[in-house]
Amino acid sequence: MSNQTLALAAIEAVSDKKLDAGNPGYPDDPGVERKGMCSRFVRCASRKVYGQKYQDLFGGSAIESGHRFERAGLAFTPEEAGPLQAGDILFKMQGSGGFGHIGIYLGAEDGRVAENSSAHPAGPSGAKGYRTLAKYGSSQLIGRLPEPGNPILSRSIYLNKKEIGEGPIKNDITYCQVRVWADHLGFDLDWSEESPHIWIQGKSVGTDEEIWMVGGKSYLPIRTLASAAGLVAVYDPTQDRVVVSKPG
């Protein structure tokens, strides 16, 4: 499935003045227009779509990034990937002084690759811009991130330092499947056809507005579930995860 959202974010990143060389206003990403910043450019486009999700897949070079994507099961050989799709991340795993190269394919209708490279007409010193797929050349790996919402993006949830699973995200709120939560805490879970619907340990938990049904399963915000159990849920941005523990 194509990732048109990432393709559009790549176009936006090309024109985004916050990504201009040396701009201190864009956290951790100064100098994106300089030669050799191809991986950082794609990372910036990715962040426009996913926030911090997937940011740790981008290394100091395109080759390192390609290997990280591959280890995460998000990069494929051209034979495995099949026809290129909008939003595909194209990895050149050789050349460029041993650093390789990386760009984002904008799809067959557009026909271009968005990138940060000294090879396209934007200038010999290196700048953001586009090349046709033919001029970009062959790639050794094709990276594919999911279109937002299909599948649903998620964050890891940790309870007492142990991961209990992935929680889907809606409106930047992390949810947890109620059954999974109850099972990990050893709590009794009941469902009522009348409101309030969800009962844990004989106590109603969550409002009708908070309940999110995904694939026939009920989910509640992890903070709501944690609070009902006398726990606190804290988002850890460095690991893009939610950690649930006792207060204090």
Domains and CATH numbers, the chain: 4-143 (3.90.1720.10), 154-245 (no CATH)
156: part of which helix (H) or strand (E)? Answer: strand 154-159
165 close to 174: Cβ distance less than 8 angstroms: no
* Residue among 82, 81, 104 at smallest CA distance from 91: 104
Residue type at position 221 = P
CB distance 152 to 168 below 8 Å = yes
Distance of alpha carbon 175 from alpha carbon 246, whole angstroms: 19
As a whole number of angstroms, the distance between CA 176 and CA 97 comes to 46
Helix (H, G, I), strand (E, B) or coil at 188: coil
pTM, two decimal places: 0.57
Per-residue pLDDT of the chain (248 residues; tens, 9 = 90+): 578 889 998 998 888 766 655 444 455 554 454 545 788 889 888 988 888 888 889 988 899 999 999 888 888 899 888 899 999 999 998 876 667 999 999 999 899 999 987 555 444 344 688 899 999 999 999 999 988 765 456 788 999 888 988 888 877 789 998 999 999 999 999 999 888 899 999 999 999 889 988 656 788 999 999 999 999 999 998 888 999 999 87
State the Cα–Cα distance between residues 143 and 102, nearest whole angstrom: 10
| β-pair type (112-117, 101-105) | antiparallel
Residue for token pair 């994507």 = 69
Give the separation between CA 221 and CA 233, rounded to whole angstroms. 10
